[in-house]
Chains A and B, each alone.
Chain A
Amino acid sequence: MSVSPAAKPLRPLLEAKGATMRFGGVTAVNAVDFVLGEVELRCLIGPNGAGKSTFFKMLTGQLTASAGRIHFRDTDITAAHPHEIARLGVGIKTQVPNVFNGLSVRENVFVAAGRKKSLARTRAIVEETLTRLKLTEIATRLVGQLAHGQRQWVEIATVLAQEPELILLDEPAAGMTKEEVERTAALIREINRTHAVIVVEHDMPFIRMIAKTVTVFNQGRILIEGDVDTVLSDARVRDVYLGKQAA
């Protein structure tokens, strides 16, 4: 048997084993095992307080797991700093928008695109991203003066401009109009042709627009994981999630 590198079993793009986050007495994420393949699209749903955003923070180094391990490809990122994880190729749009309010739209994207790249390449990425997200018209506006929906787009633009391999989107459709939601869905499908994406959303029609595989969080644990139709018709999911939303 040959010992070529190709023969090595491939690690998944992202793998969490027993990932746990405790805040004092609260266990927000409880022994979560999670695997994501290359260029996979995964939707993460679950009721308020289920631990979805906390899980994202653990994946991006904003929080350090109380227990368990997280790997990005071959790198153990359990205790890594956010900037180190970002450099490995993980980008995130956070639930509460994190943008540079005092800078213009273009400057926001420029700062995100420009790390370790030539000026010409950076500029090319900036213009391409602005065009792609239809932000060219408002490129000189201050982000702090934009409407919530537009700021979401700017944040997504900064994430794309940084050219990550894995993109985490925490409630990307929140506060958007119906038309914007449809654009977001189309964009995610397009991104997913080349990138792995994890999307957290409460908006079920939106989930149905994009989802293949769905993971349901409840009280810090994974309740069920599988094909979108199977999961969304599962009685337990209706109980903890859809039932709650209908109420």
Chain B
Amino acid sequence: MTRPPSPLRALVRPAALSFLAMVASGLVILFGAPHLLDTFGLVQMTGFVAMAMFALSQGFIWGYGGVMSFGQAAFLGLGGYAYAVAVLNLGDSTLPVLLAIVVPMLFAGLLGYFMFYGRISDAYIGVITLTVSVILFQLVNTTSGSQYRIGEAELGGFNGIPAIPALNLPGDAGNPLDPEGIWYAAMGSLILVYVVLRAILASRFGRVVVAIRENETRAQLIGYDPRLYKLLAFMISAGIAGLGGCLFANWGGFISPTVFGLTMSAQVIIFVLVGGLGTLLGPILGAVLIQWLTIEAGAQSLIDSNLGLGAILVTFVLLIPQGLVPVARNLFLRLGTALIGRRMRAKPLGPAPGAALAGEVRR
């Protein structure tokens, strides 16, 4: 067997470096934020992180799985409600957190089975997922009145569920975490999910998922069953969205049917598009940036904040359709190539369009 030639290693090493840099930055933010921010700021950041988790789920299934799941809010809502109902009944938050992940995954398993094994075309998958989220919204919306309760938890219809107990350390049900503790839990789990997704994408399973996105026919002709891979990727994304819902419920101690709403599903698509489809960092940054802008826009009264958001999206789609992260990465690559090229007079590495995609696939 011949050794892989050095160009590959030269490409792999920066990818590994950038991964480590990402995790390191995450850890710096994780431990730095409580020192730099007051409680209000920290709570606000926790909210951003919950939405960033949600954006990761959208970015994974759409950007890497190529599945146009446009109703991811269904899984966000299911996760949030699963946590709320379970924790109100059980007290201890350990099992409820697991349920917030598992319940959306099982639901996605069922829905995905019918969609992928039923040979539903790509465009219809967008319509179906969106419709399902709207149906869930309507369903939960009509659960006002004390007859709609699951054990101790009253669903509360459009008013939602207030006073949801916060996370506690496993087995320590009487001691819910303070805002700083919730921050650590939220940001810590975001870093963890990022690492897990990187590992998945580097694994054979992940490579096949991306290969199916690239060319489903070829993947089949090689012997892979795209239905199975899409189903599993869909379930993984639902679990991540569910965890986002759990964090969301923890952030405000409150959850209402709006988590299932069209606005949620649309917002997360915007996060991903602005940050960069086909990256993991993009959705996270997109979520944080847009939410920060929304809050800033809400603080002023000159223009309607929804209008402002719409304008941002249109601007992005027209001017930077690849999103922030791929553009930044391309610039970086070009700069690096220019510098290296000058020093070594080597062949150009070819920072051609799509170089960002190649990097993303390797990482």
A: residues with CB less than 8 A from B are 60-62, 81-83, 86-87, 91-92, 94, 98-104, 106-107, 110-112, 114-115, 123-124, 127-128, 131, 136, 139-142, 144-145, 155, 158, 162
Contacts and interface: CB of A to CB of B under 8 A. Distances in A.
Where chain B touches its partner, the secondary structure class is helix
Given A102-B357, A102-B361, A124-B1, A115 B222 contact: yes
Contacts of B207: 107, 110-111, 114
Contacts of A106: 4, 8
Interface stretch (B68-76, B78-86, B210-218, B336-344): B210-218
B28 interface: no
A81 B225 contact: yes
A62 B217 contact: yes
Interface of B: 1-2, 4-5, 7-8, 11, 204, 207-208, 210-211, 213-215, 217-226, 350, 352, 354-355, 357-358, 361
A145 B8 contact: no
A70 B56 CA distance: 45
Nearest to B11: A140
A140 B223 contact: no
B223 A83 contact: yes
Contact of B221 (A94, A131, A144): A94
A83 B225 contact: yes
Given A62-B217, A98-B221, A107-B207, A145 B354 contact: yes
A131 B218 contact: no
Nearest to A128: B1
Contacts of A158: 218, 222
Given A87-B223, A107-B207, A140 B354 contact: no
Contacts of B350: 141, 145
Given A102-B214, A114-B204, A139 B8 contact: yes
**Residue of B2, B8, B208, B354 ringed by the most chain A CB atoms within 10 A:** B2
A98 B215 contact: yes
Contacts, number: 100
A98 B218 contact: yes
Contacts of A101: 214-215
A156 B96 CA distance: 51
Nearest to A144: B354
B225 to A, nearest CB: 5
Contacts of B210: 102-103
A159 B354 CA distance: 25
B59 to A, nearest CB: 16
A91 B220 CA distance: 10
A111 B205 CA distance: 10
A140 to B, nearest CB: 5
Contact of B220 (A83, A104, A136, A140): A83
A130 B351 CA distance: 23
6 contacts: A98-B217, A102-B354, A102-B357, A103-B214, A103-B361, A111-B219
B221 A127 contact: no
Contacts of A115: 222-224
A124 B2 CA distance: 8
B224 A140 contact: no
Contacts of A128: 1
A127 B4 contact: yes
Given A100-B215, A103-B214, A111-B211, A142 B222 contact: no
B269 to A, nearest CB: 21
Contacts of B204: 114
Contacts of B225: 81, 83
Which 5 residue pairs of A and B lie closest in terms of their CB atoms, listed nearest first? A86-B223, A100-B214, A82-B220, A98-B218, A124-B1
Contacts of B5: 136, 139
B219 to A, nearest CB: 8
Nearest to B354: A142
Given A107-B361, A111-B211, 14 more contacts: A62-B217, A82-B220, A83-B222, A83-B224, A87-B223, A102-B357, A110-B207, A111-B208, A114-B207, A127-B2, A136-B2, A139-B8, A140-B7, A140-B11
A52 B301 CA distance: 67
A86 B221 contact: yes
Contact of A145 (B2, B226, B352): B352
B13 to A, nearest CB: 13
A115 B228 CA distance: 14
Contacts of B215: 98-101
**Residue of B5, B219, B222 ringed by the most chain A CB atoms within 10 A:** B222
Contacts of B355: 142
Contacts of A104: 358, 361
Contacts of B2: 127, 131, 136
B220 A86 contact: yes
